[in-house]
Structures are given as C-alpha cells and as structure tokens.
Chains A and B, each alone.
Chain A
Amino acid sequence: MLSIKNLHASVEDKEILKGINLDIKAGEVHAIMGPNGSGKSTLAQVLAGNDAFEVTSGSVTMNDEDLLEKATEERARDGVFLAFQYPVEIPGVSNLQFMRTSVNALRHHRGESEMNAAEFMKLAREVSKQVDLDPAFLKRGVNEGFSGGEKKRNEIMQALMLQPKLAILDETDSGLDIDALKVVSDGVNALRAEDRAILMVTHYQRLLDHIVPDFVHVLAEGKIVKSGGPELALELEERGYAWLGIKEDETAASSAN
C-alpha cells in the first residue's frame, strides 16, 4: 500500500530525514520508535503533506500513485489520515461543522452524496461514545479547551469517522492516563482492517502493549537502523537505545520533533 524509498526531508535547510526506506502492506500495523529528535514526527508530517518540510529526494507511493505530488487535501481525500501529536484549537469553528465538512469532502471525492445534518449527527454521536467523548463537545470549537487526553480521543474519533486507508498516529499515547490510553487503544484496534494500514509513531513501549504491531522499526538520526517484530519493542523497553549505538540524550537536543 505504502512504499517509501530513500526519503530525505529538511526543515529550514536542516536535514531531518536522511534516507528512509519502508514498505507497509494493507492490513499491517507498523510502529516506529526512536529517541526524541530522530525524525519520527517529521516522517508523519511529510506523509500528511505539511509544507513546512521540504522533501529533497526520494519517493513515496501509495497504491502505486505518487503521494508527494499530491496536495495535502488530496492525500486526505485519497485516504491518508494523520492523528496529530499536538492537535490545534480552533475557536469559532465547531467540531461538528469541522467534521461534517471533512466527511463530506471525502464523500464528494468518492462520488457519494453529502451526509445531511441528521445523518451526520447520528454517526457522530455513535462514534463519540466509542471514544468516550460527551457528544456535547461537538458543539464546542475544534479542540477548544480540551484536555490533552480529550484532544487525542478527538483525533481517534476523526479517524473512525473518516475511515482512512492509511492512518498515521503521531505520539497518540503521549499525555494519556491509563484509562484514556485504553480508550484510545481500543479505538485504534477498531481501526485495524484488512484494507487499512496503520503507522504508529511512538516514544514508549506502553502503547504497544495495547496495540500489538506487526512490525517495529527503530528510527535514529533520520534513518531506520533496525526493524523487527513486536519483540523488538520489548527489547528496547528493557535495554534502551544504547545497544543499537544510539545516544538518546544527544539526539534529543536537536529535536524539532
């Protein structure tokens, strides 16, 4: 489904990604781990199409189409979804209006009719319960006044609403207490499907206790330095990154994560 070849990317002339190679098939869950500043979030942002990052070389194809050539909104319409590490607050635009516009943009792209307000409300209420958000939040501004945990649950809710082909989860576990982590993990597990790929970026092993990945990759200084199965995450948890020759503290200092 997703094929990343020798991907290099920079921000403000500083190279962050230095040759990423990664293949993800439909139905698979991949976890990318690594110390702060290794380029995990950059990879997520580049795939979603954030203009702040410049791709200097390499290629990314999704279902054999050049992903990098597409504008951000086109990628989303083709099924790319990024759950943000730090979702923004947008007062003045309600969650309801935001999500409905988004759902309808995707439906329109697929040649389907728009969802009317009543249909949409019904769906939104159901999904909000799934991620344990009070449906009353739909009337509030996008993420406005949300706690860190509520923001993350809202991201998962959007993923469930939009049913992407490729879901990229950027540190979706950070800042969550144990109960919220369970809710979010259940949401992600509900996303697992034969025709969907999931790419999880995480700093900690604990998320992987709840969402068991098919593959784990270690990213350091802009490159994948080791790949393996779920057992690799456990090994990292036990031994840290040092045995792979990665100095965690030094790389953390250069973080533009």
Chain B
Amino acid sequence: MKQPKKPFLVILAMMMVLTFTGCTSGNGNNANQESKEDKDKVVTEQKQPSDKPTVVRFSGMSAETFNQHTSESAETSILLEYINGNLLDLIYDETSDNIKFVSNHATDLPATTDNKVWTFKLKEGLKWTDGTPITARDYEYSYQMLLDPKLTNRNAFVLFDNIPIVSANKYFKGEAKWEEVGIKAKDDLTLEIALETEMPEIDVYSVFAQGGSTSPIHKQLYEAGMKPDHSETTYGTTLEQVPSSGTYRLSEWVRDQYRVFEKNQDTPMSAVYTPDRIESRVVSESSTRMQLWEKGEIENVSISGEQFDKYGEDPRVVYTEAESVWGFYVNTESKKNPILGNNDLRKALYYGIDRDKITKGIFKTFKSAPYYISTICMVGDYSDGQRYRETEAAKANIPPGTGYEPEKAKEYFEKAYQANGNKKITIELTYFDSQETMKRTAEVAEELYENLFGKDKLDIKLRAMPPSAAYDAYRDGNFELGIGAITQNAFNPWSSMKAWRTDFPNRSHRFSSAEFDELQKRTTTGDLLLKPEERLDALVKMEKMLLDYVPQIPLFQNNNAVLFQDRMDLKGKGKYFPVIKFAPLQVNILE
C-alpha cells in the first residue's frame, strides 16, 4: 500500500526542489551578473565627457490628457510645460538669484500703455516639431477654442477669471460673438489682448507664461480630432495627437506607466533647459518611490514625517513652501450646533491648539501657521521678492510664535462654555478619509483640544469624508468643523482673498462682511489695483478681519522635505520659488 505513494511524493518533492533551486540560483546568478555589468557600465560612462545626452528621471502620477484645455491634475500641468511653448516663460535667473519672466515665442515682454491693452510681438519662424508654422493667428484660434461654448473647456477660466479679457466670459457662455472678444491677431506676428479693467503686469505675465492652457494648439490635429457636432476633440489623447511647440516633445507614452520627452533643438528656450531627455514613471506608492530613489533610479523624492528621522540629517534635503494654509473651517451658521456662532469659542479654538505638536511633532517639516496668507505670497514687484509675511504690518497682525496661548484660550473657552448654558460642547470635525496627514491632524487636534479644555466640557467627534464630498458639504453648510485649504496665488494674494467673499460660489466658510468684500474688489478690480502701498494696507486689513472673526482655524502650511540625487546640481541650489519650484530642468547633470 505504501509502495506506490512514495515515488509520487519523491517526484513531487524533487520537482519542487528543482523548481525552487532553479528559480533562485538561475535567476540570482543572472541578475547578479547583470547588475555587475550595469555597475561597470555606469563606471565607464562616468569617465566619458559629458557631451553625450543627459537624462533626468522623475516619478509622478498618471497624466489624464495632453490637451491643455481640459487638463486638470498638477502632474499634467508639469508635463504640459515640457511640450508646450508659450508667449512668455518663467525661469530661474542666476544673476538675480530669483525668478524671471522672459520671452519665449514673443520677442519681448508685452507692451502696454494703459494696463488694459497688451500687445505681444511674436518671433519669426516659430514651428511645431512637424514643421507647421506657429503664428499669432494660431494663438487667436487656440484661445477661441479654449473659450468655445460648445467644448466647455475646464481651463477656459484663465482668460476671464485670472485676467478679465473683454467679453471672454460672455463668449464662453455663448452670449457674444468672437469678433467682440478682446483677443485679436493684428497680423501674423502681432497678438493684441484687451482687458475689461486694468491689471498689474504680473497677472498678465503669469497667464501667458509657461506651457499650459494658454499655449497654442495645433490647428490641424485639433480639428481632426473633433467630433461631428464640435462638442469634443480627441486632441492630446494619443501619442500621435500630441504635438510639441516647446522645448521637449513627447516621444513615448504608455498610459499610466511611462512617458519619455526628447529635447527639440533650436527652440527659443533650449539653452535654458539642460537635460536632453526626460523620463517620467508613474509611481503611486510612496515607499516604492523611496526605494527607486535609494537605487538612484529617480532624481528626487519627497519624504514624509515618519521618514524624516532617517533622512533629516542628509545634506541633500531641500524644502518646499506650500501655496496654501490648512485649517478647520467653522460653520458659524450651523443650525445643529449654534454655539459655533460664538466668537469666544472660535477664539478659544484658535489659541488653544499647539500647532507645533502637529507640524514639528508629526510632520516634522510643516510650518505652523496662525495666519491666513501663506509665506510664499509676494507683494509689490516680483523681482524684489518681497514676501507679504515678512512685512512689519503683517507680522503685527498675528500673535507671536505659533499662536498657542493656553491661558487665553481657556479664558475664551470658559466664556463660550457659559454661553452654552454650562453644558458640554460637542463638535463634529470632518477630515479627508484618503489622506493620512489629514487623519493624523484630526486625531491630534481632537486630543489636544479635549485635554486642554477638559473632556467633561468639550467632546470632539471625528468624521471621515472624501475630499470632494467634504467640500460639497462645506458649501452646503452640512458640517461643523471641517479641514480644508485655499490655494493661493503667490503673485497675487489679493485675488486669492476672493474665497473669503460672501458671494464666492464655493465658499467653505460662513464669514460675511460687506467691508471685506468691498476692500477685496477695490484691490483686484478697483481703484487700489495699481497703488502698491494702499493695496498692501488693504491686504493687512483683510487678514485682520479674518483673524478677528476666525472663519477658519488656521493650522499649518504643508512644506515638504525633498531629496535630490547628487548628480542633480540645481542652478537654484535647492532654493524654492513659487510656480517654478526647484526649477528641476535648469540643472547641471554631474556624471
């Protein structure tokens, strides 16, 4: 009976052993040899002079489309900058160690006499990579398509929200003819933009700088991809439908995995951007990215608070500066929980949170922010680099340090507690479920508040929600406290203040002040627009109003730590600038 069983088992065992040893030994040896060979190759490559093509490798997320009119994600906007030229460009300037607007397709920065009509002169002989010429008429066509009422492109807003071009919004809504819109190609090389109100040059420059939604589109391809009813175009959705008017062209694209950009020689900006080839991998897992970085397969990686213990000492660490301030919105008009309308309670929450526990304790690199306007925001001329937060008036606005004053907070809280009829105050705090940082912030805030004010007097309940649903709930007033942030325009903090206006359509807060609204209008479209000093005063005043009312309890700026490879010798030396960030394409590649 046992006889027949054995051979079967023996064979099985042998097979398994064979397969396993086969796998490990065979594979192992091959791989080892190969990796050795690779290393040898690297060594020999290093010795060669650097006239061979230089490659930079980045990791990122998926690109949903290369149609700059409908693109949405931050990742796509980076990739679009590679392949698209524009009238102007924003680069790091070594001589002034600052950012600088330069002309790209235009011959010079635009000319204006009244800050309303701006004229761009185009260079001659501009071409798509396939040889089709680019003229001012292509620009006009591009903007017409961007604003097309049937296509309803997401990014159309830049032409009527960032700068108010005459009749642009009306055309977008189908209420005006194209002839009425203030975008005209006077001839093949002249493009004229007419605005409804005066605008400072920085706003006009930034709309037309860097490849993106205001870059030209390739007319033939755009038309060819059009559906019969002209409501959609497949432009930018396949490799063949992605042309290049910029410094790089898309040469390989595997959706959600891999894309390669090759440099176009002889474009206006090809001397500024140094790498000859950009390879970009989609890597969504942060630990995978870390491993790739350690192996030298990607140029940079951002490190989280937990990893900071390990990499904090590394000399290669550089820091970003966030363009937003995160905090808890307060629903001061809550029907379910009317005590939130009590200003003392909000002040108690403002002074009662030890922001450093969150920013330095958990995230290590974040910046405690007892204010509403991010440190990156600039006032005055961008070339001076004057930061709003560094002005004396702005400093006087906020309490010293991180705004944590427990005694003051307790006093305020006692007042609020009495106003609540000496009953326990219960507050529900909404956080974003898919983001670890938001979850931790909520957990720490719960603990800090309850410990400071007493668990018998205050109860914070946490509620998880997906971000988009949470913002909807804030807008509709279905929340009590909710985490969130407003992205700010580094060059124009005044315009970002529109989010605090009563008539802001997606407002997450319940702050409403006629005085504030008036002031904000005056600084962005009214009489204060071109008066730098009064404009700054107004900004300080607006922030003061917010700080008095506390429509949101400001917490932190999520400044991250980033590690760059040794071979990336950034021209900006790791200094962080708005919009261009570390300028990773302006780099000497050390081999």
Whether A associates with B in a native complex is no
